[in-house]
Chains A and B, each alone.
Chain A
Amino acid sequence: MILSVKDLTVSFATDGGVVRAVEGVSFSIDKGEILAIVGESGSGKSVTAQTILGLTRAPNATITGSVEFDGRDLTQLDDEALREVRGKRIAMIFQDPMTSLNPVYRVGEQIVEMIRAHEKVSKKEARDSAVELLRSVGIPNPERRVHDYPHEFSGGMRQRVMIAMALALDPDVLIADEPTTALDVTVQAQILRLLDKLNRERGLAVVLITHDLGVVAEVADRVAVMYAGQIVEDATLDDLFYDPQHPYTWGLLGSLARLDQPRPIRLAQIAGSPPSLLNPPTGCRFAARCPHEFDKCSEPPPLHGDRCWLDPTDKRRLRDVDGHIGLRKDVAS
């Protein structure tokens, strides 16, 4: 396992109180793997991703737990040491490529800046590398386009630029925070294929943050599902789709529009909304919305593949809704 997150907890002191954005999150990723972290807005997935690189460090933030990489705990590193990891060993790309690139600098300059921050190379060498990088992510005419400004690229191209920049120093891990969310569906597919190719060709480990199960199905090897700041299920791709263990996952799967089923009158939804992270519930955080909740749920379930007190045989029964996996609205006995 090249990157191991253990029991990561991140909370922020704010005007309204202490927000417990991430609670006891643990997962790991191996060389050459693609791990998808799935969750809705507010589930804490972005905060988790950013915390790996120490981007959430702030006076009002409290971070406990560990992020083990290359034999060191990244949460304990000072800024100087962390700086050497960022970009060079672990790289990150973000959701909105328009706002994630500085509008007043040319794209080539921004890539060169990154290269020269870590390696002693001349500007010319760095610029040549930048051109090659743009080529490797599929940007046509890179010699010319390296002199362009971010707004002169389309959204998909911009994201490729971000990926090129992230790969400049051949990192071991790429964290991609919702890289396709801001893009058109057709462009999404292209970006995912690119990520897949990079993963296969270079053995690049990818932590892919997304809220879209379709994206997950496309490229992931393993999946971690997050809800209300916690990981509620951690499984391989096949296990997640065919043998999911947590009611929330059932709800997610059940709400997908499926081509192999008759069209429902209404798309299934999970009733209710996520709990406040200012005062999260002490037991299972999904209990309030779970039709299968029972008395043990008031104790916080530990994570052993999934956070649910139900035993496996019951799960198999309860998750079956009219022949496919879903979350019943009515309470089963």
Chain B
Amino acid sequence: MLRFAVRRLIGMAAVLFAISVIVFLIFNVIPNSDPAQRIAGKNANPALIARVRADLGLDQSIVTQYLTMMKRIFTGTLTSYASSQNVGEQIWKGLPATLSLCIGAAVLWMALAVVFGYLSAVHAGKFTDRTLTILALVGISVPVFWLAAILLYYLSFKAQIFPTSSYVPLTKNPGQWAYHLVLPWITLAVLFVGFYSRVLRSNMLDVMNEDYVRTARAKGISERQIRIKHVLRNSMIPIITLFGLDFGAVVGGGAILTETVFNINGVGLYAGQAIGSLDLPPLMGVTMFGAFFIVLFNTVVDVLYAFLDPRIRLGEAAPA
């Protein structure tokens, strides 16, 4: 078990390293534009540009620049070119909002997905199932930002049910916090509810065909108990692992659209702003943060899967 964990950690580190290199290269090698020029502004003269370049250490070799930036990341001194804010601090400040959004949406989407998926599977082929399937398919066909805009327009602006203004921290006012987050939660959850309810339905239908379900029936267990204790329980295992991956991805950057439209000051919004100004340090910071989260959750998920499935936890079967 320990060897497994160590190997995974090394793998994680390797992936993160590769990502940091790639991001760095993307922004330094590919574009023909010169960061110093961009920062110095459109009308800068060559002398100004040269000075900006020297200030930011952009006149050094690529490798040196990369190492400097990495050092800064680890020491928490990474600062933006454009605004001289500390990247680490900004990310830290945006984290509560992003987590509020993601965790809330996650709870919502898992709860709904399990209910819808279960109902769909149990009433498969009938009206309930068809309706839920259509809803699910629509759910995965809607662009998140567009849904956000539509909800904002109809429910905030026109019907005035929900507020249009941005994030209220939990610590300041829990009621307002939730109130302001309802629409963002729904927006972020819709896509996932659609997807997960269908995966659960599909898993449950597969499991229903398994031999051990037939055995349970032959034992005289009630249908309801079979559905929950045997079918649902076994169907949830892949769902939990998928969830880990998606949750990591959402925190790691998937929330950027929702935060942008609803003006939530989270990590995603910060990333969006950095992209607009092509500001490398914050972009690097946010990407590393995002990748770290994704990779972390990948690992958590693998461990969780081993825990949930005793076959993997305890090593494979004895001979027949």
Quick check: A99 and B218 within 8 Å, CB to CB? no
Residue A311 at the chain B interface, CB threshold 8 Å: no
Quick check: B320 and A99 within 8 Å, CB to CB? no
Which of B211, B218, B317 makes the CB contact (< 8 A) with A91? B218
Quick check: A55 and B234 within 8 Å, CB to CB? no
Residue B276 at the chain A interface, CB threshold 8 Å: no
Quick check: B217 and A86 within 8 Å, CB to CB? yes
Quick check: B220 and A87 within 8 Å, CB to CB? yes
Residue A122 at the chain B interface, CB threshold 8 Å: no
Known: A96-B211, A99-B211, A104-B233. A152 touches B220 (CB 8 A): no
Residue B141 at the chain A interface, CB threshold 8 Å: no
Quick check: A87 and B219 within 8 Å, CB to CB? yes
- Taking CB atoms and an 8 Å cut-off, the chain A residues in 85-134 that contact chain B are 85-88, 91-92, 94, 96, 98-104, 113-114, 117-118
Residue B225 at the chain A interface, CB threshold 8 Å: yes
Quick check: A83 and B230 within 8 Å, CB to CB? no
Q: Mark B214-229, 1 if CB is under 8 A from A, else 0.
A: 1111111111010001
Residue B92 at the chain A interface, CB threshold 8 Å: no
Give the A-B pair count, Cβ closer than 8 A. 93
- Taking CB atoms and an 8 Å cut-off, the chain B residues in 239-281 that contact chain A are none
Quick check: B318 and A153 within 8 Å, CB to CB? yes
Q: Mark A55-71, 1 if CB is under 8 A from B, else 0.
A: 10000000000000000
Known: A104-B308, A151-B310. A98 touches B317 (CB 8 A): yes
- The residue in chain A whose Cβ has the minimal distance to the Cβ of B223 is A79
- Taking CB atoms and an 8 Å cut-off, the chain B residues in 266-320 that contact chain A are 308-311, 314, 316-320
Quick check: A113 and B221 within 8 Å, CB to CB? yes
Residue A320 at the chain B interface, CB threshold 8 Å: no
- Taking CB atoms and an 8 Å cut-off, the chain B residues in 58-88 that contact chain A are none
- The residue in chain B whose Cβ has the minimal distance to the Cβ of A82 is B220
Classify the secondary structure of B's interface with A.
helix
How many angstroms between the C-alpha atoms of A261 and B201 in the bound complex? 58
Quick check: A99 and B210 within 8 Å, CB to CB? yes
Residue A165 at the chain B interface, CB threshold 8 Å: yes
How many angstroms between the C-alpha atoms of A84 and B220 in the bound complex? 6
User: Shortest Cβ distance from A15 into chain B, in angstroms?
Assistant: 15
Quick check: B320 and A155 within 8 Å, CB to CB? yes
Quick check: B218 and A87 within 8 Å, CB to CB? yes
Residue A213 at the chain B interface, CB threshold 8 Å: no
Residue A184 at the chain B interface, CB threshold 8 Å: yes
User: Shortest Cβ distance from B292 into chain A, in angstroms?
Assistant: 31
Quick check: A152 and B218 within 8 Å, CB to CB? no
Q: Mark A192-208, 1 if CB is under 8 A from B, else 0.
A: 00000000000000000
User: Shortest Cβ distance from A200 into chain B, in angstroms?
Assistant: 24
How many angstroms between the C-alpha atoms of A102 and B235 in the bound complex? 12
The interface residues of chain A lying within 8 Å CB-to-CB of B215 are: 94, 100-102, 162
Residue B154 at the chain A interface, CB threshold 8 Å: no
How many angstroms between the C-alpha atoms of A55 and B223 in the bound complex? 12
How many angstroms between the C-alpha atoms of A79 and B221 in the bound complex? 11
Residue A27 at the chain B interface, CB threshold 8 Å: no
Quick check: A154 and B221 within 8 Å, CB to CB? no
Residue A149 at the chain B interface, CB threshold 8 Å: yes
Quick check: A83 and B310 within 8 Å, CB to CB? no
6 contacts between A and B (CB under 8 A): A50-B214, A83-B222, A103-B309, A104-B309, A118-B220, A151-B314
User: Across chains A and B, which 8 residue pairs bring their CB atoms closest together, nearest first?
Assistant: A155-B320, A87-B220, A86-B220, A99-B211, A87-B219, A114-B219, A151-B317, A102-B212
